[in-house]
Structure 1
Amino acid sequence: MMTTQSRRRGSAQPVLATPRQARSQAGLAKMLQVGRELIEASGNLDDLSINSIVEQAGTSIGAFYRRFDNKDVFFGVVQDMVMTEALEYLRDVVEHEAAWQSHDPGTLADAVVALYVQAFRRNRGLYHASLLQSSQRKTAWDAVKRTNDEALKLIVPRLVAVLGAGRRMSAPRLATLEFEVRVALQFLVGMLVNNLMHDPGPLSLTSRKLVPSMQTHFRRSLNLQDR
């Protein structure tokens, strides 16, 4: 049987074997959900207690260690679960929400900012814990980076297409535009990471002013007219 230490070839993510019994499946799912909630609440893996996980999940220490070698491995599996859900949500939003089908650069730019802010708000504790862990174990932030790389594959081409619409774009100019879009997105993510680690600052993740303020700055970084 595979354990959480077994890994896919070429992947840094742990492979978690699916329990065969329905009761074991339910117990595993409950441990992961409880762990996710506790991590989100504390924002620090050091505060995560295995005893709290199994007590709130209604399982046992033995059940935990049959699946996870230690707390770090458990955290990696929770990370993978949350990032998979986040990417699925992003794909659904990009495919179905009207703002993402817009040909207006400002509308699309605003939608990108709103989506990133929502992601940071929804996963505030997990991101904070991941960043803290990355100071001890550099790979702790890798799951978030990989998810963002996949997000960029959806976002960058849309922004480039809308920003370049109606203009004759040579290959060098198109490459320059894509570079500018990626830089603007890097600044956006960097601002949110800084906000997360130094909250409260001039703007909090919970502030009503955060989204419109960041939308204004993102538009400016893309050389769009101010709102």
Structure 2
Amino acid sequence: MTSTPLRKRESSSAIAAPRQTRSQVGLANMLQAGRELIEASGNLDDLSINDIVERAGTSIGAFYRRFDNKDAFFEVVQDRVMAEGLDYVREILVRDPVWRSNDAGALADAVVAFYVLVFRRNRGLYHASLLRSSQLKPSWDAAKEANREVLALLAPRLVDALLAARGAPASQAAALDFEVRASVQMINGLLVNSILNDPGPLSLASRRLRPWLQTAFRRCLGLPGG
């Protein structure tokens, strides 16, 4: 068996590393370009692979080396956005003092503020995902799973604060957990409706949206200010 000369091995490695780096940069650029285009259009039917690669500075061949089709690309973009959202939740739980306050009213307001921010930030993506879901494609499942994970992080803190605010025993935690989750479901339902039917009395861009929802959420949980 012959061995590869050291200089040749070094040369091959030097070539392989930049190629791999370029490939990773190209993928990141395609995902970012797709994210921006989906957010702008809100409809996967309007998304062109040519537009993606042109915006990303890559090629059609590079796209198809990574993705079978536009649907597969959308699912990767969506999964990436959901993962970033979960990372953001974990960050604010550590960074934002309100999540350490045990103030039920402040926590309730923060829950609503989070959901309004996320829906506004991902309006186009959510619209595209809901349209795909109406075509019997399970694209909204990713958002539902992300929401379950978000609630697993946020709900226990609000439940503990509600127990303290009501002076209730720990045995009522399960009932309060249901109240929190059902109330969040109501908030999410209205936000989804505002995406599909905007503009309405409560447009997603309206300055009234967040305070109105915060009041409604507090009312559902029997908190002052509701």
After TM superposition, the score normalised by the length of structure 2 is 0.89
Q: Which ranges in structure 2 are unaligned for 5 or more consecutive residues? A: 1-17
When residues 170 and 94 of structure 1 are mapped into structure 2, their CA distance, relative to the original with a 3 A threshold, is closer
What amino acid sits opposite 2:216 in the alignment? H
User: Quick one: distance in 2 between partners of 1:83 and 1:103?
Assistant: 27
1:165 partner SS:
helix
Deviations 1:23-74 (A, max 9, x none): 1111111000000000000000000000100111111111100100000000
Runs (4+) of structure 1 moved beyond 4 Å?
none
What CA distance in whole angstroms lies between the structure 1 residues aligned with 2:168 and 2:191?
Answer: 34
1:196 aligned partner, one-letter code: I
Paired position in structure 2 for 1:11: none
Q: Which residue is equivalent to 2:163?
A: 164
> Identity of aligned pairs, percent?
64
Alignment deviations for residues 137-157 of structure 1 (CA, whole Å, 9 cap, x no partner): 341101111110100001110
State how 1:42-81 maps to structure 2 within 5 Å: 42-81=41-80
| 1:150-193 CA distance string (max 9 Å, x none) | 0000111011100001624253x322111111111111111111
Please give the root-mean-square deviation of Cα atoms over the aligned residues, in Å. Answer: 1.4
Distance 1:158 1:20 in 2: 47
Letter of the 1:90 partner, please give it. V
Amino acid of the structure 1 residue aligned with 2:139: A
Q: Which amino acid aligns with 1:217?
A: A
Alignment-mate amino acid for residue 48 of structure 1? L
Q: Where does residue 24 of structure 2 map in the other structure? A: 25
Corresponding residue pairs, total: 208
Is 1:119 aligned to 2:118, yes or no?
yes
| CA distance in structure 1 between the partners assigned to 2:209 and 2:101 by the alignment | 23
Q: Is the 8 A contact 2:160 2:173 kept in 1?
A: no
Which residue is 1:197 aligned to? Answer: 196
Structure 1 SS opposite 2:146: helix
Change in Cα spacing, 1:73 to 1:218, as seen in structure 2 (3 Å) is: same
Please report how far the alpha carbon of residue 136 of structure 1 lies from its aligned counterpart in structure 2 after TM superposition. 1.1
Query: d(CA) in 1 for partners of 2:76 and 2:19?
Result: 18
Letter in 1 for 2:109: D
The 5 Å alignment of 1:59-138 reads 59-138=58-137
Q: Whole-Å Cα distance in 1 between the matches of residues 85 and 19 of structure 2?
A: 27
Q: 5+ residue gaps in structure 1?
A: 1-18
- Tell me, in whole angstroms, the C-alpha distance in 2 between the residues paired with 1:138 and 1:94: 33
Q: TM-score, length-normalised on structure 1?
A: 0.88
Larger Rg: 2
User: Aligned partners of 2:100, 2:219: CA distance in 1, in Å?
Assistant: 21
Q: Which residue of 1 aligns with 2:13?
A: none
SS of the residue 2:224 aligns to:
coil
Q: In the alignment, what sits opposite 1:177?
A: 176
